[in-house]
Amino acid sequence: MSCTKCKKCNKKAVTYLKAYRIALCESCYSEFYLKLVKRCIKKYGIFRKNEKIVAAVSGGKDSSAMTVALKKIGYNVDLIYVDLGIGSYSKKSEKCVEELSELIDSNLNIIRLSDYGFKIDQIKGKTCSACGVSKRYLMNKFAREQGYDVIATGHTAEDIVSFYIKNLAGGSKVWAEKLLPRNEPFDPKVVARAKPLYEISEKENMLFVLCNTIPFNPDDCPYAPKPEWKEIVYEIERKKPGFTKNFVRGLVREGKFPETRYCKICGEVSSSEVCSFCKLRRRFGCV
Ligand code: SF4
Ligand code: ZN
């Protein structure tokens, strides 16, 4: 790799993208990446005209890359970070998102789960599921109350494909909203969600944050499960470069929304009488 030249400017290449069969230097890579994100946004109608966008940031490389890319492409985005109360991991992540918001001069909104009566560190068992419920709930509520039209999340092509394969292999329902590049609100209480990195890979995000010295927390969450399904996706990608992108491109839209109900405790949209977030709070005697 040391003697490979950038295909665009002939400078020393920092990467060779197998899926595109192209070697690029640092600055040409960043331009290339921004074009990929821009194309993805256009292709899938990720954003509508003049939408007020809030970017969900975790401090990780993917959401940090997404936020800087959106800003560079010309979108005006505010940031939302949920402090989940996961020991030093949350503290470090918060520091990263603060630096990120300074770097791109965006408003940063921080919501603390502890203000709702508990922390993720107190959850016993099925931590990620409780964490996911909490993040979705708090972000949706905040975005709606603050008048945002859409929440942008940093889901990558690997997230989509591994989710699909895992469900397929587990014999459960494969189609889920989570697989789509954009989810329209199925109720006035729900804010649209969109994935500007739908076709973008984790490696591409990592290179972009490194080439642009974008702050991010490289640590894994202490509760993160072993990424077995992702490893399968990486392995296929290694053998068949372009697999992940082709896979997400091939996913057909088949959205099926559940009947809308409202939580009898807090009034948010829920699939049952009491929403999953209030059930969690009930465990801690908060409602
Ligand atoms: Fe939450 Fe699990 Fe992600 Fe950690 S790995 S932030 S607990 S969803
Ligand atoms: Zn509720």
Q: Whose CA is nearest to atom 2 of ligand 1?
A: 128
* CA–CA distances in Å: residue 10 to residues 4, 5, 32: 9, 5, 15
Give the mutation target among 128, 137, 219 for probing the ligand 1 site: most ligand atoms within 8 A of CB. Answer: 128
- Kindly report the backbone phi and psi dihedral angles of residue 80, in degrees, each rounded to the nearest multiple of 5, phi listed first: -130, 130
State pTM to two decimals.
0.89
What local confidence, expressed as pLDDT, does residue 255 receive? Answer: 46
pLDDT of residue 189 exceeding 70, the answer is: yes
pLDDT of residue 254 exceeding 70, the answer is: no
Are 150 and 51 within 8 A, CB to CB?
A: yes
Output the CA 186–ligand 1 centroid distance in Å: 26
3-state class percentages of the chain: helix first, strand second, coil last, to nearest 5? 45, 15, 40
What does the pLDDT average to over 274-278?
94
Q: Which ligand is nearest to the CA of 123?
A: 1
- Helices and strands of the chain, counted as H and E runs: 9, 10
- pLDDT, one tens digit per residue, over 63-119 is 999 999 999 999 999 999 999 999 999 999 999 999 999 999 999 999 999 999 999
Are 66 and 106 within 8 A, CB to CB?
A: no
Query: pLDDT tier at 256 (50, 70, 90 boundaries)?
Result: very low
* CA–CA distances in Å: residue 17 to residues 13, 22, 38, 76, 239: 11, 5, 18, 29, 14
What local confidence, expressed as pLDDT, does residue 19 receive? Answer: 87
What local confidence, expressed as pLDDT, does residue 257 receive? Answer: 43
pLDDT of residue 174 exceeding 80, the answer is: no
What local confidence, expressed as pLDDT, does residue 175 receive? Answer: 67
What is the bridge-based pairing of β-strands 15-17 and 77-83?
A: unpaired
The dihedral over CA atoms of 36, 39, 40, 44, expressed in degrees to the nearest 10, equals: -170
What is the bridge-based pairing of β-strands 108-112 and 77-83?
A: parallel
pLDDT of residue 1 exceeding 70, the answer is: no
What does the pLDDT average to over 176-202?
91
Q: For 240, which DSSP code?
A: S
- The rounded mean pLDDT for the chain is 93
Give the mutation target among 120, 217, 226, 230 for probing the ligand 1 site: most ligand atoms within 8 A of CB. Answer: 120
pLDDT of residue 172 exceeding 90, the answer is: no
> Given the structure tokens 């490194």, which residue do they identify?
210
Residue, of 269 and 14, whose pLDDT is higher: 14
- pLDDT > 70 fraction of the chain, expressed in percent and rounded: 94
What local confidence, expressed as pLDDT, does residue 80 receive? Answer: 98
Q: Which residues of 156-194 are buried (b: 16+ CB within 10 A; e: fewer)?
A: bbbbbbbbbbbbeeeeeebeeeebbbbbebeeeebbbbb
